Amino acid sequence: RRSSDLNVRAAVQLDYLGVQLGGNYGSTSAFTAELGVQAKVAEQLWLGAHLYNPNRAKLDASTESNITLDERVPTLLRAGLGYIVSQKLTLTGEVEKDIDQDERFRFGVEYNPNKVLFLRTGVSTGALQGHFGLGLRVKQLDIDMAVAYRSQLGATPMLNLNYRFQ
């Protein structure tokens, strides 16, 4: 394989996490990071991995009212793939492992019937979740709307706006 055939992307993100317990109950904060990498291993196949909170950050605080917050921020490792079936259809799969929990699996489909509309659906295991959504691309603006159905919480709506700079 020629080195020009392999496309690799990597990213590092630093996160500041803060919790305000309200009133005089105190607050706490922590720093963590995220690391990600994607590789195009074939014309239609991308592989990726993501690590969240490699330093095992902890949120802990004691308050005047003897309330103690002692929460370990989850450390998550994700690995996935995206298979581009055609210009209009993409299939995705992912496994996520929280080092303190069982693994979860996610599967998704994106259908792009034209240059403006994206239809998406997916399912994840663990606490079963189903996702349905659509995206609109208007010039440099992406508008994504979705609803996730979670077995414990019911329906949760989501909205995402992205502006793509030239």
Residue range 23-46: average pLDDT?
89
Position with higher pLDDT, 81 vs 58: 81
Instruction: Return the HEC string of the chain.
Output: CCHHHCEEEEEEEEEEEEEECCCCCCEEEEEEEEEEEEEEEECCEEEEEEEECCCCCEEEEECCCCCEEEEECCCEEEEEEEEEEECCEEEEEEEEEECCCCCEEEEEEEECCCCCEEEEEEEECCCCEEEEEEEEEECCEEEEEEEEEECCCEEEEEEEEEECCC
Residue range 132-137: average pLDDT?
96
Query: In whole numbers, what is the pLDDT of the chain averaged over residues?
Result: 89
d(CA 80, CA 88): 20
d(CA 69, CA 154): 28
Strand-pairing partners, residue 31, are: 16
Backbone angles phi, psi at 88, to 5 degrees: -105, -15
Position with higher pLDDT, 61 vs 152: 152
Predicted local distance difference test score (pLDDT) of residue 32? 95
pLDDT at 58 over 80: yes
d(CA 83, CA 106): 14
Predicted local distance difference test score (pLDDT) of residue 71? 80
Residue range 121-136: average pLDDT?
92
- pTM equals 0.77
d(CA 20, CA 27): 4
d(CA 125, CA 106): 7
CA-closest candidate to residue 119, choices 135, 107, 104, 95:
135
